Amino acid sequence: MKLAIIQYRSSVRGCMLLLATILLGSSCVKNRSGETDFSNLKPTVLIPEGGLATFSSEALVFPASDASDTANFHVNYAAVNVAPNDETIGLAIDTAAIATYNASNAIQYEALPDSLFSFTSTTVTVKKGDNYTGAIPFVVYPSKVDPTKNYMLPIRVSSVPPGSTISANYGTIYYHLIGNPIAGTYEEYWSRWNAADSSSGAAGALYYQTDVGAVTFAPNSPTEIAVVSQGTGETDIIDFTSVGGVLSNFSVSIPPVTGITVGSPTLIRADAVNGVYEIYFPYVNSAGASRVIVDKYVKQ
């Protein structure tokens, strides 16, 4: 399983667009002789990487074998001008937000246990002359995570400087992990034929079931995983259905790969009980030569 690092883009343009969106949405804006009056607007405190509108980008996708990894977020002091003083802002874990989310969404989450993360930044500061904090760390321990469970850890802005307000849409970041019954760490055994098919068997393969190392079945949803092959480098996407814990209707697809033309992939084995999956696909390389690949993944 992978747990996605949120990348913060602090470009002036991005900050100004977000600021304009927030400020123009305020009911306090007045029109004076055809001009927009911002003089009475309160500064708005927000988490630019947060909010339900960007929920998917708040997924934690780190390698399951990692002992620890860090995701970073920021707090913005969105105002007409920069912070006039050092502005102190409070942060808090908001487990009540999980129930609110679950009440209106199909995928249900449980609270991320304390043993799986570390978060100690209860207050942060926007320095005088700035509009945003430095990176705020959220540490997670991927190797301890049960990849079959859906976890969530919302962090909200809990207090703001006098005269400012908390953004209604971007006041919380929803860190989460999507559980999936086949997610986790697998060993990949890679085979390749410099031919249009694999009919020559092991004797005709350039590489045959070569152990190319550990890979991660990273959940895209409760019934879909993505795995990046260490052999060819393509991304194999496996979908299935789950009824009462029984998995069936397995299928595979491969997104376009730069430099090669991939033929239709076939899932020649999908053994959820023993954790073994084999994917066959042909491709034509940039020189026009035919190749065939078999990726075998074995659960560790």
- Say yes or no: 112 and 252 in one domain: no
Assess whether 86 and 60 both reside in one domain.
yes
Q: Name the token pair of 236.
A: 């194999």
- Regarding whether 155 and 224 lie in a shared domain, the answer is no
Residue that finishes a domain, picked among 147, 177, 207: 177
Q: Which of 153, 177, 201 is the last residue of a domain?
A: 177
The answer to whether 212 and 190 are in contact (CB under 8 A) is yes
Query: Is the domain of 120 the same as that of 231?
Result: no
* Same domain, residue pair 224 and 152: no
Are both 68 and 122 inside the same structural domain? yes
Tokens of 214: 């550990």
Domain containing 62 equals: 12-177
Structurally, the chain folds into a number of domains equal to 2
Three-state DSSP state, 174: strand
Q: Residue 128 — φ and ψ, nearest 5°?
A: -55, 130
Residue 19 identity: L
* 255 neighbors 39 (Cβ within 8 angstroms): no
User: Has residue 223 been placed in a domain?
Assistant: yes
Q: Are residues 203 and 131 in the same domain?
A: no
DSSP H helical segments within the chain, as ranges? 12-24, 96-102, 201-204
Q: Are 297 and 187 in contact (CB under 8 A)?
A: yes
Q: Quick one: 98 and 224 in the same domain?
A: no
Helix (H, G, I), strand (E, B) or coil at 294: strand
214-246 CB burial, b ≥16 within 10 A, e <16:
ebbbbbbebbbbbbebbbbebebbbebeeeeee
Secondary structure of residue 53 in the 3-state scheme: helix
Q: What pLDDT score was predicted for residue 148?
A: 81
CATH classification of the domain holding 159: 2.60.40.1740
The answer to whether 74 and 135 have CB atoms below 8 angstroms apart is yes
| Tokens 């390698």 found at | 63
**256 within domain boundaries:** yes
- pLDDT at residue 39, as a whole number: 53
Q: In angstroms, what CA-CA distances link 34 with 37, 41, 203, 272?
A: 9, 18, 80, 66
| C-beta of residue 148 within 8 angstroms of C-beta of residue 179 | yes
In a domain, 5, yes or no: no
Q: Are 272 and 171 in the same domain?
A: no
CA dihedral 239, 186, 282, 268 (to 10 degrees): -60
d(CA 118, CA 208): 43
What would the two tokens of residue 235 be? 């991304």
Residues 58 and 73 in one domain: yes
The last residue of one of the domains, among 132, 158, 177, is: 177
3-state class (DSSP) for residue 67? coil
- The pLDDT value given to residue 122: 95
Q: Is 130 left (phi over 0), alpha (psi -120 to 50) or beta?
A: beta
Q: Is residue 4 part of a domain?
A: no
Residues 139 and 68 sit within 8 Å (Cβ to Cβ) = yes
Residue 90, Cα to own-chain centre: how many angstroms?
25
- Identify whether 7 is part of a domain: no
Residues in the chain: 300
Looking at the structure, tell me whether residues 65 and 172 fall in a common domain: yes
Residue 2 lies in a domain: no
- Residue 287 domain-assigned? yes
State how far the Cα of 177 lies from the Cα of 219, in Å rounded to an integer: 8
Q: What is the pLDDT along the chain (300 residues), one digit of tens a residue?
A: 444 333 333 333 344 445 444 444 444 445 545 554 445 678 999 999 999 998 888 988 787 778 999 999 999 999 999 999 999 999 999 999 999 999 999 889 999 999 999 999 999 999 999 999 999 999 999 989 988 889 999 999 999 999 999 999 999 999 999 888 898 889 999 999 999 999 999 999 999 999 999 988 888 888 999 999 999 999 999 999 998 889 999 999 999 999 899 999 999 999 999 999 999 999 999 999 999 999 999 998
Is the domain of 143 the same as that of 216?
Answer: no
